[in-house]
Amino acid sequence: MDADGKQLGIKALPDALRIAREADLDLVEVAPMANPPVCRIMDYGRFKYDNEQRAKESRRKTANVTIKEMKYRPKIGTGDFDTKTRQVARFLGEGHKVKVTIMFRGREMSHPELGKKILDKVAEEVVNLAKVEAAPKLDGRNMIMVLAPDKRAQQAAKLAEEEAEAGVEGAEGAVDLTSAALAPEAPAAVPELVADIEPDPPTDAPLETPAATEQTPAPNGAEPVPAAPQPQET
């Protein structure tokens, strides 16, 4: 085959080498077990470079998935449970599988339902990040469960969170518009009415004041006799 993949037919080795030299390319045997062997005319250096680049890209895209382990106790407290579960969620968010182990001691082995209850609670807490790959089961003195990342659940949870944020922003905008619509309007300015009050005409004459009258004391048993009024000055 030539560089374009066109069949050239069966050629003798000297003829095939001559054709490759004329094209300034290499003659590469690609199917040595065939009868007759299959050769191709190509740039062998470029062929090796392209293969190396494809392999490098493939290794880069391949995620280095490891299995993390988180251990719980049947009598674990609420604070420790929340801390360990957040760590499990972080591992799942990074794309790792998580092996959750419940460790039993002494008489705790007689109550495996306590460990099952904790494992179910862990799976419920990370339901938006993972799915149960291996259901809870007893393994000696331990009970184990394996969680694997769930890309679909993570995308759905992220989409729901974005929609919730958009809904909150829209509700805040609607509340602002409603408040503005219900706000009382400012009262219109009322022009002051000034009454035309005519002033009293001036008077030059002094005001008359009633003259004080004196009463003359009367004898015993008689009514008092008012005093004669005094003449007023004009």
Residue 41 shares a structural domain with residue 113: no
Identify whether the C-beta of residue 139 lies closer than 8 Å to the C-beta of residue 118.
no
Cα→Cα distances 16→22, 28, 37, 130, 150, Å: 10, 10, 12, 59, 55
Domain with 123, as residue range(s), is 67-153
Residue 79 shares a structural domain with residue 130: yes
Among residues 153, 182, 202, the one where a domain terminates is: 153
Q: Is residue 216 part of a domain?
A: no
pLDDT in tens, 13-60: 788 888 888 878 888 777 777 777 888 888 888 888 888 888 888 777
Q: Is residue 189 part of a domain?
A: no
Average pLDDT value for residue range 205-227 = 51
Taking alpha carbons only, the member of 69, 71, 68 closest to residue 80 is: 71
CA 129, 133, 138, 140: dihedral to nearest 10 degrees?
Answer: -100
pTM value > 0.85? no
Residue 56 shares a structural domain with residue 76: no
Residue 56 shares a structural domain with residue 133: no
Strands (E) in the chain, as ranges, are 26-31, 38-42, 67-72, 97-103, 130-139, 142-149, 215-216, 225-226
Note the pLDDT of residue 145. 94
Strand, coil or helix: 33: coil
Structure tokens at 113: 């339902």
Q: Is residue 40 part of a domain?
A: yes
Q: Is residue 88 part of a domain?
A: yes
pLDDT in tens, 63-120: 566 889 999 999 999 999 999 999 999 999 888 899 999 999 988 889 999 999 999 9
Query: Who's near 213: CB < 8 A, 6+ residues apart?
Result: 226, 227, 229
Total count of domains within the chain: 2
CATH number, domain of 49, equals 3.10.20.80
> Rounded CA gap, 66 and 51, in Å?
28
Q: Is residue 210 part of a domain?
A: no
Residue 87 shares a structural domain with residue 139: yes
Question: Of all residues in the chain, what percent carry a pLDDT higher than 70?
Answer: 67
Residue 217 amino acid letter: P
> Rounded CA gap, 120 and 132, in Å?
10
Among residues 45, 61, 77, the one where a domain terminates is: 61
Note the pLDDT of residue 225. 53
Q: Is residue 3 part of a domain?
A: no
